[in-house]
Structures are given as structure tokens and as C-alpha cells.
Amino acid sequence: MPQPVDPRILGVTVAGGAIGVLARALVLDPVTDPTAVPWVTLGINVVGSLILGVVVGWLDDRRPVLRSFLGTGIMGGFTTYSAFAVATALWVTTPWLAAGLAAASVIAGVIGAIVGLFIGRRIADRPGEVEYPEDAE
């Protein structure tokens, strides 16, 4: 049976998502060269992965409302898999470049998240702890 959704968590997640989408739009708005958009999107996703790692490492399973607002909300709205997928798909005429962009996005995003977790755990003074998926709430 699915667990009921906490209206506070839902509300802060939606509000955070709106802030994250606005932040992404503000970063992308000044970009006038269409060929630069995929690279800026890559940067957004890597920075977002890093910051999400910091949030998860710092808050861990404490402060679920703040974690939902900052992590799922703001960073979920700021980063964008769909824009990355479309940018990659638009480069089908240059398959090696498209594959390189896709690989760079995934690899750099994972590295950013790992570094962010390390930083967040240092902030929380929990440097050696690992949160396994089955333990996460």
C-alpha cells in the first residue's frame, strides 16, 4: 500500500521546483548561440548534481522538509534530464559529439554528486558515513 503524501513536503517541493526552474531559465536566457546551449545545460546538470550531493550529504535523513525543498525541489527543477536528452538527440548528425556529450553529462554528473556528498558530509561532520538506498527515507 502506498504511503500518503505529506502536504507540507509536496508544497515545499513544488515551490522549490519553481525556484529551480527559474534559476535554470536565468542561466540559459543570456545564451544566444544555439550551439552553446547543450554545453550550458551540461554545466547546469553538473553543478546541480554537485549541489544535490552537498544537500543529501549535509542533511542525510534529517530535516525532510528542507531536504525536499532544496534537493528534490530546487535542484530537481534546476537540473534537467529532458533538455540534456533533447540536446544530445539534436546532434545526431555528429554522432561522436552526441555520444561524447552524453557520456560527459553522466560521468561529470556522478563525479559532481560524489564530490558533493563528500562536502556535505564534511559540513555535517559525518565524513565516513554512507547512506545506502535501502536505508534512505
Residue 24 lies in a domain: yes
What was the pLDDT predicted at 84?
A: 81
Residue 30 φ then ψ, to 5°: -75, -10
| 80 among annotated binding-site residues | no
Question: Using CA of residue 64, residue 66, residue 68, residue 71, what is the dihedral sign?
Answer: negative
- Would you state the cell numbers that stand for residue 23, as one nine-digit string? 534559476
| 76 among annotated binding-site residues | yes
pLDDT in tens, 55-96: 999 988 888 899 999 999 999 999 988 888 887 888 778 888
Residue 1 lies in a domain: no
Residue type, 127: P
- Would you state the cell numbers that stand for residue 90, as one nine-digit string? 539534436
Closest CA to 42 of 121, 97, 117: 97
Residue 85 lies in a domain: yes
| Total tally of structural domains belonging to the chain | 1
CA distances from 93 to 32, 36, 87, 116 (A): 21, 16, 12, 35
For residue 116, the enclosing domain spans: 7-135
Instruction: With cut-offs at 50, 70 and 90, classify the pLDDT of residue 54.
Output: very high
